[in-house]
Every structure is written in structure tokens, then in C-alpha cells.
Amino acid sequence: MEMTPTPHIEAKSGEIAESILLPGDPLRAKMIAETFFTDPVQFNATRNMLGFTGTYKGKRISVMGTGMGCPSMGIYSHELIHGYGVKRLIRVGTAGAMRKDVKVRDLIFAMGACAATDYVRQFGLPGDFACICSFPLLKKAVEAAEAAGLPYHVGNVMTSDLFYTPEKSRHQGLSFADMGVLAAEMETAALYANAALAGAEALTICTISDSMVTGESTSAKERETSFLDMIRVALEIS
């Protein structure tokens, strides 16, 4: 049952499509709407978390910022699903490569998320929940990337609450990279857990913005405007 508006989204019932793209940055949401949507209409400005609905190739679709980290992603994905009936949520954002074979600007399709966060633990489950994506969305994303000839990787990401890791907290044992984890980011575990609980579909698509292995990185301006391949893939599968 829809309950609108929600505490953090001012949209009226029916103003948000069943499929939505979720960048962290609200300015990226605005850029996506203005660049790719036909006749975009803004539905949210609460807390400056901009959201828009329009059409792409004749299909109704929305885009909205979520902010950074699991708590913020948890709030917005929950309200979109339970308040507005959103059924397909696709996170589009950036991630840091954890392996040498994952290059800057490669695409990551997050099949699963290793939760280096307490977000999922607070659900009170009797064990550790495996946060995984929607396979139909993943399959479509891989097909779209292959059709476009884009470099991509499918596998686990690490969802962490820390952007800056204190030097003393870095242990010398096994790392997530040793377990084949592709990249680090900050939202996917919350998105996948909320979607699983509600029976919604979710997928994270990230562009590698920097490498923790090689030290290569992109600028903030590039992260805002240049990752258009990721957006095109997300739009095609939504």
C-alpha cells in the first residue's frame, strides 16, 4: 500500500515510475534526466535530493539521488519501494578497484555484496544474509554491455561504511581482494537487503573511478559527467 509523501520524498502518488535509477549524487540525477529523458518532470527537492520522471525510448522511468552510504540508501530505497511502489531499482555510481585486472572506467555488475557494515545485521536475522542482485537484471546488463563492446566484470563488491580507512585498522590477514572481490563501494548491501525483504528487483552498476592497487583515479568532474556508458546500460535494462 502506497503512503505518500514520505518523510524524505515529497512526490505525489503516481509521480515515480516502477523503474528507477539511483545515483548517489543528486546533480548526477539531474544530469541523467536532462541528458537522456524526454520531457523530464522533477518530483523531489526535499533535502536537495533531486528526483525526476520522464521517458526513455518510450518507456516511463525515474531517477533520484540517494546520498552516500548504507543509511541514506536504506532510507530512500525503503521509501521508494514501500511508499511509491517502485519495483526495479538500479544503483549507478562509482567504485574503487580492489584487483589489478579491474581497470579505471571498467563497468562492475555487482552480483553480490560483502557487507563490511552493520546495516544488514540490524535486520535481526539468525545468521549472515547473502546480499545478491536480481538475476534477470544482471543478465540484461551483461547482454547490453557485450552488445556495446564495453569492458565489464561480474562478481562481488564490498560495501563499507568507511571511505577513509584509518591506517591502524588495516589488518595483515586475508583481505576481500584475496577472496576475489572486485571493488569497494558504500551502498549495495543496503539496497539488496531492502529489495530482498520487499520482493523488489535491484542491481548495482558501477564505473571504476579509482584503483586501490595502481593508484590511478579520475577527477570529481569526470565522475559527475563522463560515465555515460554505465547510464546507457542502466537505461536499457530498466
- List, for residues 24-67, the tens digit of each pLDDT value: 999 999 999 999 999 999 999 999 999 999 999 999 999 999 99
Kindly name the residue from 25, 106, 210, 229 that is annotated as catalytic. Answer: 210
Mean pLDDT over residues 188-216, rounded? 97
Q: First vs last Cα of the chain: how many Å apart?
A: 23
User: Would you give the DSSP letter of residue 11?
Assistant: P
Q: What is the pLDDT of residue 202?
A: 99
**pLDDT tens-digit series, residues 158-196:** 999 988 877 766 666 788 999 999 999 999 999 999 999
C-alpha closest to that of 238 among 100, 125, 141: 141
Q: How far apart are CA 11 and CA 8, in angstroms?
A: 9
Q: What is the pLDDT of residue 223?
A: 67
Query: What domains does the chain contain, in order, with CATH numbers?
Result: 19-237 (3.40.50.1580)
User: Would you give the DSSP letter of residue 124?
Assistant: -
106 is known as an active-site residue: no
